A and B are shown apart, each in its own frame.
Chain A
Amino acid sequence: MIGITAYGAYIPRLRLARKSIVEANSWSAPELRSQGKGERAMCNWDEDTLTMAVEAARDCLGDRDRAGISAIHLASTTVPFADRQNAGIVAAALAMPEDISTMDVTSSQRAGTTGLIAALGLAAHGNGDVLFVASDSRQTRAGGIQELQYGDGAVALAVGRENVIARLLGSHSVTVDFVDHYRASDREFDYTWEERWIRDEGYARIVPQAVKGVLARTGLAAADFRYFILPCVLPKVAASLAKKIGFAEDAVVDPLHASCGETGTAHAILMFAHVLERAKPGERILVLGFGQGCDALAFEVTEAIAGLAPRAGVSGALARRKEETNYSKFLAFNGLVEKEKGKRAELDNQTALSTLYRNREMLLGLIGGLCTACGTRQFPKSLVCVNPNCRARRTQVDCRFADTPCSIMTFSADYLTYTADPPLHYGMVQFDGGGRFLANFTDVDVGAVKVGQPMRMMFRVKDFDDNRGFRRYFWKAAPAPAQGG
């Protein structure tokens, strides 16, 4: 048996009210007025495709032993690096062993499903589970319809042969160079063609061909499926296609337009993970990914799903929410308006790559030290123990802090230091069981930060180096999810 063994999801906490988009643009784009319902997920200034991917992967893996993972594949069309393996950064942030294979899957909205098919194939023949992550944060022009349709988000699936919660019944792919939209490699934004053509010549012709193919391969009929997953930003396309092909009306899965928006390559898988939260053993799920063709994957939920450890999943990610009604902030975070940053932002943030490499476990994996002489946990790992009563030399072994609960010991909200979202919050963060460091906070609100507040470390962008097109990542403290949440 080959299939899904676990899932995890991440959606940024900030949800931009579409009303704020259409109102701000009503002077120039009054036709958008009717689209001002619901909200779309938006990255905080320090979030991107990779930080979301890491969080989705952490949700998927929980405290599972990393040794069982043989590969990490990352699907996205918005990876920050064109030539530096992005999946490798995810692997480092997850503190994966070096003996792991990694790959970026990109260049099409279909990368999510195509990548999943490839991951399933690798897991079927490989030496362990494949962690498949899909994440996207597509940029759009201010006031364009995509700004309303898209959302940022990530999803992760562990794929393997044991403890399968959703068994792969079969898959089929159709490849057609149907260019409903494209984004040239040197451009920031999509260029799109007429919606009616996309609907009638794209979805209506290509999707049924893929469905037909997977049904033929699995020997199943449309009616055998409880869930029909097809992301499509065009209204009613999924429902009308499902009906036409013969799927039950209630099989059509909610695309999360109201609460999240379309998350690009992640979206079909995100909808799939959302379904897995409630699917029952024996139920079948059809996952379709459209983009220069169509992928179709058929799954059947197994009894093992009941034994899956609790996780945030899509519902948990959606519940971790803060409404943002300031459209200007969205524009600023996405570089759509040139903000005055002040002279403090002129600081050169060049990253010494050799230093980054030397300290990669500390910086990307948040690995500190545990003194084997006295048991003191400390960050960073050092040659001489920080414990005043120990000071043993060269006794420390690796100790990862990323998943250790922590709390705020001291803090301030700083209006002086440059940040894209002032004030900059930071403070001494004390880890349960020992270890502390002065950390930047993220996803906090002015006035809501307290001494003693439980926090959780999150992988985020620390600084952007606009001069050199680099960004550096590190870990920040964010409010821990409420107990039982």
Chain B
Amino acid sequence: MASGIRDRVAILGMGCSKFGERWNDDAEDLMVEAYEECLADAGIGTEQIQAAWLATAIEDFHVGKSGVPLSVALRLPFIPVTRVENFCASGSEALRGAVYAVASGACDIALALGVEKLKDTGYGGLPQRSRGVLNSMWWANYSAPGSFAQLAAAYSAKHGVDPGDLKRAIAQVSVKSHDNGSRNPKAHLRNKVTLDQVMQAPMVASPLGLYDCCGVSDGSACAIVTTPEIARSLGKTDLVTVKALQLAVSNGTESGHSSWDGSHFMTARIAAKRAYAEAGIKDPRKEISLAEVHDCFSVTELVTMEDLFLSPEGGAIKDVLDGFYNADGGLPCQIDGGLKCFGHPIGASGLRMIYEMYLQLLGRAGPRQTKDPRFGLTHNLGGAPHQNVCSVAIIGRYGE
């Protein structure tokens, strides 16, 4: 087996823009805002960056195709810039590109930046887009909430959970994330909500109501990575390194073969196992300190806790209701508010998750700071339960 990425690449700096409805900002503003923070944190100059990856998923709105928009916005010095897109997991793809480039020795310092400018569509929610010439002819017409909502029907059927009880449990997921988001100045949504508010909200796609759905936001996040040795040579002492970087992509089994029951993500289970092996983690529920998972919808977060083997199979409801994933629980999840409240600018989200884990590991998370985190896990999903890409990344302190 490959030796993996563990401790081979360090994060030199990170930045993240304010997420939200940035009515008066273009993609350029968002990119530069995240980059300026990142560059200052890294303590280097633009001329030291040797390669860059730009993640943006819905380029139709504003950002545009290719690596050019990033190169122009930051005036990068004619270096290789590659645009990546892998649904909502695009941000993690940019990071993968930069980390692997450094690990390979092809370059010393690389940049990964994710950005999405969504709030120029004229309506709430994700932009309506063609799914391709042939797919449009036979794929069900569906929305993101409607595709993820189906997890609830299948989960209830599989575990014999009353749909009303499940609705209450996923509502609790959102209550927790709003509580966390209220403490994050960069979060899109900073209001606390009650269980009743969540339960009574207008239905979007049954059983998901408005508060079961994450915010659709403008925003950008970025990372500059290098080797631990170069990081040290640049004066860094407290090194955060990549422990695992895994991606699993559906091959049509879920959508076409009877072996999938619709209640979980096959990809997440596969990516999680690989990531734990790569990071050397044996008991994730005990060893993972913090998790930022892809809570595009409340029910996604609930089933994901089982897919990541953090909750036992069928045990996520109990953990959620017990507060295990709350800020003061055994394994704080979405400590920054998550997609739910920090917001979800598609291409930026994977890097935003890493950003929060990075801050937490360095003790820079302010009022959200958790005590002595060791391993931070990010789970970044794109697509729909029946066909998706799933990234699981783990970062931690160098050598630990």
User: A-side interface residues toward B, CB under 8 Å?
Assistant: 342-344, 346-349, 351-352, 355-356, 359, 362-363, 376, 378-380, 382, 386-388, 409-419, 423-424, 426-428, 430, 434-440, 451-452, 462-463, 472, 474
Contacts and interface: CB of A to CB of B under 8 A. Distances in A.
27 contacts: A344-B123, A352-B133, A355-B133, A355-B134, A378-B256, A382-B252, A386-B257, A409-B261, A410-B151, A413-B146, A413-B205, A413-B206, A414-B204, A415-B204, A416-B145, A418-B141, A423-B205, A426-B146, A427-B150, A427-B153, A428-B150, A428-B386, A430-B258, A437-B138, A438-B255, A451-B154, A462-B138
Nearest to A428: B262
A424 B141 contact: yes
Nearest to B129: A347
Given A347-B129, A417-B143, A463-B141, A410 B150 contact: yes
Interface of B: 121-123, 125, 128-130, 133-134, 136-143, 145-147, 149-154, 156-157, 202-208, 252-253, 255-259, 261-262, 384, 386
A206 B153 CA distance: 61
A413 to B, nearest CB: 4
A434 B258 contact: yes
A437 to B, nearest CB: 7
Contacts of A462: 137-138, 141
A452 to B, nearest CB: 7
B136 A349 contact: yes
B145 to A, nearest CB: 6
B140 A426 contact: yes
A363 to B, nearest CB: 5
Given A438-B386, A440-B141, A412 B153 contact: yes
A347 B262 contact: no
Contacts of B139: 438
Nearest to A369: B256
Contacts of B122: 343
A452 B154 CA distance: 10
Most B C-beta atoms less than 10 A away, residue of A418, A426, A472: A426
Most B C-beta atoms less than 10 A away, residue of A415, A434, A435, A440: A415
A410 B262 contact: yes
Given A388-B259, A438-B386, A359 B134 contact: yes
Contacts of B146: 412-414, 416-417, 424, 426
Contacts of A344: 123, 128
A386 B253 contact: yes
Given A414-B142, A451-B157, A437 B256 contact: yes
Nearest to B205: A414
A484 B9 CA distance: 67
Contacts of A362: 138
Contact of B206 (A352, A423, A437, A439): A423
Contact of A474 (B137, B150, B256, B259): B137
Contacts of B134: 352, 355, 359
Given A352-B133, A386-B256, A414 B138 contact: no
Closest 6 A/B residue pairs (Cβ): A414-B146, A410-B150, A412-B149, A410-B262, A414-B205, A386-B256
A360 to B, nearest CB: 10
Contact of A451 (B130, B153, B255): B153
A414 B204 CA distance: 6
A439 B150 CA distance: 12
B141 A419 contact: yes
B313 to A, nearest CB: 18
Contacts of B253: 386, 388
Given A430-B258, A462-B137, 16 more contacts: A346-B128, A356-B137, A363-B137, A378-B256, A409-B261, A410-B150, A412-B147, A412-B207, A413-B146, A414-B143, A415-B205, A426-B146, A436-B257, A437-B140, A462-B138, A472-B137
A347 B123 CA distance: 13
B257 A387 contact: yes
A447 to B, nearest CB: 9
B137 A410 contact: no
Nearest to A379: B256
A348 B127 CA distance: 13
B140 A416 contact: no
A211 B203 CA distance: 60
B208 to A, nearest CB: 8
Nearest to A429: B140
B137 A438 contact: no
Nearest to B131: A347
A440 B147 CA distance: 11
Nearest to B386: A438
A93 to B, nearest CB: 14
A462 B261 CA distance: 26
Contacts of B252: 382, 386
Given A414-B205, A416-B146, A417-B142, A409 B262 contact: yes
Contacts of B145: 412, 414, 416
B121 A436 contact: no
A380 B137 CA distance: 12
Given A342-B123, A428-B386, A440-B141, A416 B204 contact: yes
Nearest to A473: B137
Contacts of A440: 140-142
Contacts of B256: 378-379, 382, 386, 435-437
B270 to A, nearest CB: 12
A412 B205 contact: yes
A359 B253 CA distance: 21
Contacts of A387: 257
Contact of A416 (B138, B143, B153, B257): B143
A410 B206 CA distance: 11
